[in-house]
């Protein structure tokens, strides 16, 4: 049973998908704490509603201390809109994962978050987008990729409609990625992640 810490900055629908999957025992882990760098966000409410410790904290050293004090094995960035420092990356190398709403390396990195990602896909005229679960490294959305899943772009899509379809896939592959981590099935060799079923 792994201890999971989730970092959020907003509504927390990805967080909710992890909470639900741990309660359903799909994931062999427990969400021990949810930390947000923005106060009053619904992600913190979701944690409280599930009896999970919810903390508003902007100082990264404090965040690391909170995670260490709770023996967190896996840190999940679920809509966390803050850059992770090299110090934090090192503390949780290959134990910190992120969900990004595109097929990395497309439409990611600086400035590509939330709806901006989907607007970028539409402006470019891409026919396929999707979501990516990856380990965190020193770059922005550049860590080793764990899982990806494609989503078709429809001719009449706007960013909101496309984002909603991608969000469903985000929830699906984030749960799968956390599940595999908790079952010790992920092996990282350089940039490549293999899944030992
Ligand atoms: C989602 O698009 C997610 O990919 C991005 O933040 C958005 C909000 O996620 N990282 P959530 O509903 O707060 O989990």
> Of 5, 18, 136, nearest to 70 (Cα)?
5
Mutate to test the pocket of ligand 1, among 99, 103, 130 (most ligand atoms within 8 A of CB): 99
Each residue of 116-135: b (16+ CB within 10 Å) or e?
Answer: ebbbbbeeeeeeebbbbbbb
Domain that holds residue 25: 2-195
Task: Write the CB contacts of 46 (distance below 8 Å, at least 6 apart in sequence).
Answer: 12, 15, 16, 19, 34
Q: What is the dihedral of CA 101, 90, 41, 26, to 10 degrees?
A: 70
Mutate to test the pocket of ligand 1, among 8, 13, 38, 43 (most ligand atoms within 8 A of CB): 13
**Residue positions annotated with a catalytic role:** 100
Please state the length of the chain.
Answer: 197
Domain count across the chain: 1
Cα 113 to ligand 1 centroid, rounded to whole Å: 8
Each residue of 139-153: b (16+ CB within 10 Å) or e?
Answer: ebbbbbbbbbbebeb
Per-residue pLDDT tens over the stretch 73-122: 999 999 999 999 999 999 999 999 999 999 999 999 989 999 999 999 99
Per-residue pLDDT tens over the stretch 130-159: 999 999 999 999 999 999 999 999 999 999
Separation between Cα atoms, residue 191 and residue 30, nearest integer Å: 28
Cα 129 to ligand 1 centroid, rounded to whole Å: 15
Q: What is the pLDDT of residue 129?
A: 98
CATH of the domain at 133: 3.40.50.170
DSSP state, 103?
Answer: -
Ligand 1 pocket, CB under 6 A: 8, 10-15, 43, 78-79, 99, 101, 114, 167, 170
Q: Integer distance in angstroms from the first to the last C-alpha of the chain?
A: 18
Per-residue pLDDT tens over the stretch 11-63: 999 999 999 999 999 999 999 999 999 999 999 999 999 999 999 999 999 99
Q: What is the pLDDT of residue 197?
A: 83
Per-residue pLDDT tens over the stretch 155-190: 999 999 999 999 999 999 999 999 999 999 999 999
Cis peptide before 105 (omega within 30 of 0): yes
pTM over 0.85: yes
Q: Residue 180's beta-bridge partner residues? A: none
Coil vs helix vs strand at 186: strand
Cα 80 to ligand 1 centroid, rounded to whole Å: 8
Cα 99 to ligand 1 centroid, rounded to whole Å: 8
């Amino acid at each position: 049973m792994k201890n999971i810490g989730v970092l959020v900055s907003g509504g927390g629908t990805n967080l909710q998908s992890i909470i639900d999957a741990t309660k359903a025992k799909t994931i062999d882990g427990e969400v021990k704490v949810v930390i947000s760098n923005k106060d009053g966000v619904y992600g913190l409410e979701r944690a409280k509603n599930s009896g999970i410790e919810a903390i508003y904290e902007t100082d990264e050293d404090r965040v690391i201390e909170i995670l260490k004090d709770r023996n967190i094995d896996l840190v999940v960035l679920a809509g966390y809109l803050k850059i992770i420092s090299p110090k934090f990356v090192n503390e949780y190398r290959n134990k910190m994962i992120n969900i990004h709403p595109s097929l990395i390396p497309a439409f990611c990195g600086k400035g590509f978050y939330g709806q901006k990602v989907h607007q970028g896909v539409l402006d470019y005229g891409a026919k396929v987008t999707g979501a990516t679960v990856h380990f965190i490294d020193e770059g922005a959305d550049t860590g080793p990729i764990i899982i990806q899943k494609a989503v078709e772009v429809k001719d009449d899509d706007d960013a909101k409609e496309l984002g909603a379809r991608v969000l469903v896939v985000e929830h699906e592959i984030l749960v799968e990625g956390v599940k595999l981590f908790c079952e010790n099935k992920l092996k990282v060799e350089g940039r490549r992640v293999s899944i030992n079923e």
